Structure 1
Amino acid sequence: MSLALTSSATARRPSFDRLLMFWGPVIVLAVLVFRNDARMAYAQSANGAAVEAADLAENAGTGTRERQLLFLALGATGGMLLWRDQRTNRRPIYWPIMLLLGLLFAYGCCSVVWSDSPFLTFKRMIVLGCLALGAIGIGKVWSTRDFCLALIGWTLLFVLISVAAELANGVFLRGGDYRFSGVFHPNKQVFFCAFLFLCSSCMYQSERKRIYLAIAIFALLAVILTKSRTGTAACLLAGAWLWWSYLPRNWIVNLAVAGSILFSIGLIGLGASGEEVSLLSAARMGREDELSDPTKLTGRLPIWTETLSAFINQPLLGFGYGAFWSPERIRYFESQNGWAFSHAHSIYIESAVNWGLLGVFIMLMIVVATVRRAKYLLRTHERMAGRWMIALLILAAIAGLAESAFVADGFEAIVLCASIGLVACHGPVPPARGMR
């Protein structure tokens, strides 16, 4: 009788661990993203980018009680994952990445001393700590396959809900200025679709199941429909590297030839029709609003000018993490430019004003260490993690020219931190140079 009970308890334990270690973080993060970023107003307009934003100055430095609780839940989930994993499974850790992450967080905490708004920096460091703890916990505990399946599940759910919301409101694929947004801003939706495309591609390359290839094609079409130029270009280049590193060279040559032939046929067809097509109109991607003019960088030039002119005054240490976008500074920039913005629309400029040149140098060291680790994993059984990490860094580096998503407290930053934890805590650790 006791043997039967013991075997029954043992059989139930894996399912309980799965519920606690996998489905718990999946649910917490899905709820966090929807409550933090989703708005039905985006799905009620054919161009979600035209929806008026909330009062940014009033909301700066404040957060709803629900948002605070969700970030605390994410941090607690990450702490629980790390504690439980430490008791049951001691994975080798690539310490250079972890030590640099710890150094960056300690530097951010120290920025309270010289911050323009110490209390604002203190609050945002708590949010950053919860985000990093949750993300690193996920990256360390989950396998690469679990991480990719969860990311596909999250992003596919977001995209399908967005399509359903637009269909319900009768705006899906409607109008010449249509941009796919669903319940998120198009410039955020493009990253969900890009994650879905890149992660499905990685899963297809690893398991050769056609369902992943079909999801990747669907996601790529959704990326293009967002008409987010920077995000689309970044996704295409990251995808090009991902498939270049996977396909045999003769396949790449054949695809390049076929693409050139199709492009030539398209140009001949346009010439025969007598229609004029300019590079400027092609760069607009079908967008007709005034800010879509690519020569004006979609209104980002005034943001960069104002932000960099302020950064020159405190270049070494910056203004303290999260303290630059205070309510007073947001209102001032709005009075100068006629519209409000609460981030620099560039991860490079945003990082500079938040962390200063010293903090940016630490971040650069983290990127270098992560790339080295990912390149090493490409030669091991964890090659899928290496491919995914490099593709994600390409996406973030290119999209970061005109977007701040990967250094904000959102889903994109969580995915990036979790991916860094994934490559730092999976696969063999290379021996020291003197022991080879």
Structure 2
Amino acid sequence: MARDMPDWMRVLLNGAVLVVLWNHLWFQDLASRSLLEASEDGSAPTQATFAILALAMAAALRRLGPERLRPLATWPLGLCAGWLGVTVLASIEPSLSIRRAMLLAIAAMLSAGLLVVARSPRQFALTLGGSALVILLASYAAVALVPNLAIHSGFDVNSDPSHPGLWRGIFPHKNEAGAAMVILVIVGLYVAAAASRVLGWLVVLLAAGFLVAAGSKTALLLAPVILAITALCRVFRGTLSRTLLLLGPVVVFSLVSIGSVVVPAIQDRLGAVMTDATFTGRNEIWAFALDNILIRPLRGWGYGAFWMTERTMYAGSEQLSWVNTANHAHNAYLDTALMMGLPGLVLTLVAVMLMPLRDIQAVAGGRDLDPATMLFVRLWFLGLASASFETVLYNGNNATCCMFMMAVFGLRLRTRNRLAPD
């Protein structure tokens, strides 16, 4: 039988989950030579943290009633999860895939649980705002007090000539910091609309300032695009217009990324208008990923069993030596095909691209988007757009992935159970 939870327990649990999902590796030393080694064992502190939060969230869901998550049991999500399970068992490293898939499952449960544990939109917004301030104030303090652990330098083992001086705060890399700041800008706008203008705009300003200092090109590019496109969804409310608005940019980003490798004409055109048509060497990684997708096109290599493993890092390819040390493909669609094969990619696109689009129209077809739905739409669109340049799908260690899952779940729950008023 479902029972109530006191507000302090709800806020404490959700706050802890949000902080961990946004960043669970504080103050990583990028000068450590251990970062050059294969990482098949994973991080013990990360595993312990997620395990503790999983137990706490499971207890909360049991107390509140797990049937509240029943609307998430849809056939697209079920098929996606089922195929992921098949490819985990068929992995070239089954034990490695199983361990990493367990972390993903925990992250998915935590992302969904946030929506159930929150008592109301206002409580959810205030918890988001408070958690955002923890991340932001800690990051600014880190830059001021321990700059060697919060600012990129030439001593980083994988240092890029353009990285020294860029802020990363408590995050492992400036790109992760940039992605988190975009999330916090979106969160701040929701907080301002649903709970507190002062707190919300404070989060927005602090996150935007840190985003500029981090200098993450992808995040700086995507932030205005996401805000502009989702704002237009308030104006154009029809199914066709919203579909074109939300999926059109995703198609364009895929064409300029993967298309630059597959179609030479696209590369030539990009080279005429861009100073870095190689996307800082990512096209070499994309070409390497495409070659390996074709080796195992149906079932893939297995979840988490390709990058940063001994098979990839020490494969002996001198021409691609730096590519072999990449920790992901910098493209979520390619990484999905690498892990789950082409069938897994198709199922994923149906489950996390087409079905949420249908849910958006089911919740707000022909009408304006309320603050909660707008939050989910922005986070969902952020995930889809980021996927062309970063690995943000099926990555439980990634803040954008966790917020993307929360958005997908949130849109589904909104079609069945509108959030309770304050």
2:191·2:199 contact (CA, 8 Å) conserved in 1?
no
Kept in 2, the 8 Å contact 1:378–1:387? The answer is no
Q: What residue number does 2:13 align with?
A: 24
Task: Compute the displacement of 1:56 (Å).
Answer: 4.8
Counting only pairs closer than 5 Å after superposition, residues 24-173 of structure 1 correspond to structure 2 as 24-31=13-20, 36-39=24-27, 41=29, 54-59=34-39, 61-86=40-65, 91=68, 94-95=71-72, 98-142=74-118, 143-169=120-146
The alpha-carbon distance between structure 1 residues 343 and 92, as it changes in their structure 2 partners (threshold 3 A), is closer
For structure 1, the 5+ residue unaligned runs are 1-12, 43-50, 249-278, 284-292, 431-436
Q: How far is 1:190 from its partner?
A: 0.9
What residue identity is the alignment partner of 2:326? F
Note the alpha carbon deviations across 1:232-266, whole angstroms, 9 max, x for none.
11111111134444589xxxxxxxxxxxxxxxxxx
2:333 matches 1:356:
no
Q: Which amino acid aligns with 2:296?
A: Q
CA positional deviation for 1:351? 0.9
Aligned to 2:332: 347
Matched residue SS, 2:38: helix
* 1:131-185 residue CA offsets vs partner (Å, 9 max, x unmatched): 2122222223324444443333333322221111111246899999632211211
Equivalents in 1 of 2:54, 2:75: separation in Å?
19
Contact 1:77-1:134 within 8 A present in 2 as well: no
CA separation in 1, counterparts of 2:74 and 2:58?
15
Indicate if the aligned counterparts of 1:374 and 1:423 stay in contact, CA closer than 8 A: yes
Structure 2 CA distance for aligned equivalents of residues 108 and 173 of structure 1: 37
Q: Is the 8 A contact 1:162 1:182 kept in 2?
A: yes
Give the structure 2 partner of residue 373 of structure 1.
359
Q: Which runs of 5+ in 2 are unaligned?
A: 154-161, 237-269
* Cα distance in 2, alignment partners of residues 373 and 132 from structure 1: 19
**Which residue identity is paired with 1:22?**
V
The residue aligned with 2:299 is: 317
1:307 to 2:306 alignment: no
SS of 1:375's partner is helix
Q: Which residue of 240, 248, 263 maps to 2:228?
A: 240
Deviation at residue 412 of structure 1 after TM alignment: 2.5
The whole-number CA distance in structure 2 between the counterparts of 1:372 and 1:383 is: 16
2: CA distance between counterparts of 1:394 and 1:65? 32
- What is the TM-score with the length of structure 2 in the denominator? 0.75
Flag the structure with higher helix content.
1
Report the alpha carbon displacement of residue 203 of structure 1 after superposing the two structures with TM. 2.8
**Deviation per CA, 1:250-293, whole angstroms, max 9, x where unpaired?**
xxxxxxxxxxxxxxxxxxxxxxxxxxxxx99x98xxxxxxxxx6
Paired residues of 2:22 and 2:180 also in contact (CA < 8 A): no
- Inter-CA distance 192–145: structure 2 relative to 1 (3 Å threshold): farther
CA distance in 1, matches of 2:202, 2:317: 44
Aligned residues of 1:370 and 1:423 also touching (Cα < 8 A): yes
CA distance 1:99–1:18, change in 2 (3 Å): farther
Distance 2:151 2:29 in 1: 16
Match in the other structure for 1:266: none
Residues 59-117 of structure 1 deviation map (CA, whole Å, 9 limit, x = unaligned): 2x212433222222232233223222217xx658545x644323322222221342111
**In the TM superposition, what is the alpha-carbon distance from 1:330 to its structure 2 partner?**
2.2
The share of aligned pairs that are identical, in percent, is 21
Q: Are 2:200 and 1:212 aligned?
A: yes
3-state SS in 1 of match to 2:414: coil
Mapped to 2, the partners of 1:334 and 1:222 lie a distance apart of: 38
User: Secondary structure of the residue that 1:58 maps to in structure 2?
Assistant: coil
* CA 1:128–1:173: 2 relative to 1, 3 Å: closer
Question: 1:187 Cα deviation (Å)?
Answer: 0.3
Greater Cα offset, 334-343 or 189-198? 334-343
Indicate the SS of the match to 1:320: coil
RMSD over aligned CA atoms reads 3.4
